Amino acid sequence: MKIISYNVNGIRAALKKGFLDWLATVSPDVVCLQEIKANEDQLDLSLFEEAGYTYNYWYSAQKKGYSGVAILSKSKPDAVVFGTGIEHMDFEGRNIRADFGDLSIMSLYLPSGTNIQRLDHKLMYMADFQEYIKELQKTNPNLIILGDYNICHEAIDIHNPVGLKNTSGFLPVEREWIGDFIGSGFIDSFREFNSEPDNYTWWSYRANARNNNKGWRLDYAMVADPLKDRLKRSVILAEAKHSDHCPILIEIDS
């Protein structure tokens, strides 16, 4: 099974930049999207169906043009779960899960901490999300949580670790949380295959950051420990340019 995760920074904008043509070329089985910034009724769903994704599920924020996640699939999932049941998490449309056989595939969009209020919200979200996952692991041990975590874990994951050490996305408390999250039973799948620096998934639109590869690795495919032997590949697809993020891809035996 080939799975892609992509923060598209607005699905309608990405469509105008050739997203569906690119998707047809890569042809994943399942696509996890973040920051769709659209409601389902604002989209022509036939475009996705014609591209082979007959089954598409959209979970939008209550605030129009903001946040939101989705899962597109070529085959029908056994179950789809919208949100977490935690109100302060769900009104922003940040979590959707689809189950395929013994695999549970989740699209996640963690908040950013752009100011002190949003940082407090992000930290609360992170704590509650970890508790939610802890309970979910009891019934769904084969979890794959893909998406934009809005955190760089290690110095290798950010282009300027010294200069950005006090910036949200690379704060000690955030880095500690993602380390603890991995330690709770997950594999950072990209680092399972690649230990090299200069591999990023997000670049600012400012100062020609992408061309200079001054980026951050904010997007992860976290794979539950029991799936380690089934994990075949995990890569960053930096050549795709429909967003300020780029997609990530994993392949796993289904």
pLDDT at 116: 81
Torsion of CA 33, 39, 44, 50, to 10 degrees: 30
Single pTM value for the model: 0.97
Which tens digit of pLDDT belongs to each residue from 46-58? 999 999 999 999 9
pLDDT at 114: 84
Strands 231-236 and 2-7: unpaired
Which tens digit of pLDDT belongs to each residue from 60-102? 999 999 999 999 999 999 999 999 999 889 999 999 999 999 9
Percent of the chain with pLDDT over 90: 96
Sheet holding 231-236, edge to edge: 55-59, 69-73, 30-34, 2-7, 248-252, 231-236
Which tens digit of pLDDT belongs to each residue from 121-172? 999 999 999 999 999 999 999 999 999 999 999 999 999 999 999 999 999 9
Selecting among 44, 102, 120, 148, the annotated active-site residue is: 148
Name the band, by pLDDT with cuts 50, 70 and 90, for residue 242.
very high
**d(Cα 246, Cα 31) in Å, to the nearest integer?**
13
Where does residue 211 rank: exposed (0-12), middle (13-18), buried (19+ CB within 10 A)? exposed
Query: Which CATH architecture is the domain 2-252 placed in?
Result: 4-Layer Sandwich (3.60)
* 244 catalytically annotated: no
